[in-house]
């Protein structure tokens, strides 16, 4: 059955693509068409060659809705991109909402017996996912349990169990369809094999050990009501310390899709930062041989680094309400090996330790298995056989 996947950002694609690899191998779906919700997401995916080539390696395609400024041209182009809905059975996986997809997939379901799946995948362990949402609730002072309605679908994809999903998001889920528990999709076998095969061809020859992976995020204050300093100030603060180690180690910056790269380069110039490159390689490829992964915000990439056995360092300044509520711990808890809360001297000491020593972190295999549920190819096939058996 042909498959259309609609997503909003690279984060959504990073979550759903590994599952599509498995479904394609199992011959449950064919001809996957990945649709970026807007031009910004589409262009950013094209820069991220591993994801872009991953789509085409399984016979898929990447398209973009609402690519033009003229709304009438957009409507015509959107219909052309989504034309399969008019003449054949299609399985739709919605990782984000889109009016055109919503209407046409409903038409396809009624006329051609197509299937609709809502993806709510969140590749974070339960406790870390819950803590992340708790940060925003602490700032906004909103702890009220709300009803979340998801209806009109054949299945809902969740990383966690239904009760865990409700606890994480502080919601009561109101749905009329079964839930498929897909676990930690980034750890699925076919996707990891693909990444292992592609590391040497994709990672730039300029990236030579020793290096550390610096995860970038949005630059500037972006959470209304937060009483911490703007992230660009925090970025400058840690760069001023890190530049003292420029002669000892290469810095590999990886922009987020919301990172203002021009502003980043201005900050680097202002600080006098040297010995760095800006890379759009996949985070997992950069993590593999990095001495450590560093973040000045609570990036979920720290979770991926933790899973892959790479030491993690976070330099942060949390909102005071959450910092107190969380007992001074990092947002992602044990996924952060070295947590420095706005302490320049401690940052210097930690950097000296992780840069000048051969640090090996040991993850508990049983704890990893408990926190990161990874399904086998056989389990994936069993959970999605309903697509081919009806």
Backbone angles phi, psi at 253, to 5 degrees: -85, 135
Mean pLDDT of the chain: 92
Q: What is the mean pLDDT of residues 166-177?
A: 94
Note the pLDDT of residue 390.
57
Note the pLDDT of residue 339.
97
Q: With cut-offs at 50, 70 and 90, classify the pLDDT of residue 22.
A: very high
Q: How far apart are CA 380 and CA 390, in angstroms?
A: 17
pLDDT one-digit tens code per residue, 109-127: 999 999 999 999 999 999 9
Enter the pTM of the model: 0.93
Residue 241 CB partners (closer than 8 Å, separation 6+): 344, 347, 348, 351
Note the pLDDT of residue 129.
96
Note the pLDDT of residue 147.
94
How buried is residue 359: exposed, middle or buried, by Cβ count under 10 Å (0-12/13-18/19+)? middle
Which ranges of 39-125 does DSSP label H, i.e. alpha helix?
39-47, 49-57, 71-81, 99-111
Strand partners, 339: 314
Q: Is 258's pLDDT higher than 90?
A: no
- Sheet of 30-36: strand order equals 61-64, 30-36, 2-7, 90-94, 115-120, 155-158, 179-181
Distances, alpha carbon 31 to alpha carbons 35, 134, 180, in Å: 13, 39, 22
Which ranges of 112-248 does DSSP label H, i.e. alpha helix?
126-140, 162-169, 189-202, 231-242
Tell which wins on pLDDT, 332 or 204. Answer: 332
Beta pairing, strands 115-120 & 155-158: parallel
Q: Is 216's pLDDT higher than 90?
A: yes
Residue 148 CB partners (closer than 8 Å, separation 6+): 169, 171, 172, 173, 174
Residue 197 CB partners (closer than 8 Å, separation 6+): none
């Amino acid at each position: 059955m042909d498959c259309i996947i609609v997503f909003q950002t690279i984060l959504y694609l990073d979550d759903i693509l590994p599952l599509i690899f498995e479904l394609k191998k199992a011959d449950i779906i064919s001809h996957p068409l990945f649709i970026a919700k807007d031009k910004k997401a589409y262009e950013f995916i094209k820069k991220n060659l591993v994801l872009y080539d991953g789509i085409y390696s399984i016979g898929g395609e990447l398209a973009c809705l609402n690519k033009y400024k003229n709304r009438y041209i957009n409507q015509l182009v959107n219909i052309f991109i989504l034309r399969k809905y008019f003449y054949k059975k299609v399985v739709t996986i919605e990782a984000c909402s889109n009016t055109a997809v919503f209407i046409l997939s409903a038409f396809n379901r009624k006329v051609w017996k197509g299937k609709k799946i809502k993806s709510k995948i969140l590749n974070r362990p339960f406790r870390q996912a819950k803590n992340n949402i708790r940060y925003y609730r602490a700032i906004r002072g909103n702890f009220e349990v709300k009803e979340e309605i998801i209806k009109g679908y054949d299945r809902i994809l969740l990383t966690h169990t239904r009760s865990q999903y409700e606890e994480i998001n502080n919601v009561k889920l109101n749905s009329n369809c079964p839930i498929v528990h897909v676990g930690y999709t980034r750890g699925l076998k076919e996707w990891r094999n693909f990444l292992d095969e592609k590391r040497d061809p994709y990672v730039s020859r300029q990236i030579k050990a020793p290096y550390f992976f610096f995860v970038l995020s949005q630059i500037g204050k972006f959470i209304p009501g937060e009483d911490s300093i703007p992230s660009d100030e925090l970025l400058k603060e840690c760069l001023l310390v890190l530049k003292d180690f420029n002669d000892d180690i290469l810095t590999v910056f990886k922009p987020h899709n919301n990172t203002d790269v021009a502003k980043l380069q201005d900050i680097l110039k202002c600080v006098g930062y040297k010995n760095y490159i800006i890379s759009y390689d996949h985070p997992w490829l950069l993590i593999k041989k990095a001495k450590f992964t560093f973040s000045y915000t609570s990036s979920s990439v720290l979770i991926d680094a933790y899973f892959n056995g790479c030491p993690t360092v976070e330099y942060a300044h949390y909102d005071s309400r959450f910092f107190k509520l969380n007992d001074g711990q990092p947002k992602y808890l044990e996924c952060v090996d070295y947590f420095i809360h706005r302490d320049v001297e401690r940052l210097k000491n930690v950097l000296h330790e992780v840069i000048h020593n051969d640090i090996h972190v040991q993850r508990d295999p049983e704890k990893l298995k408990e926190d990161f549920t990874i399904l086998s190819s056989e389990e994936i096939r069993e959970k999605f056989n309903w697509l081919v058996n009806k």
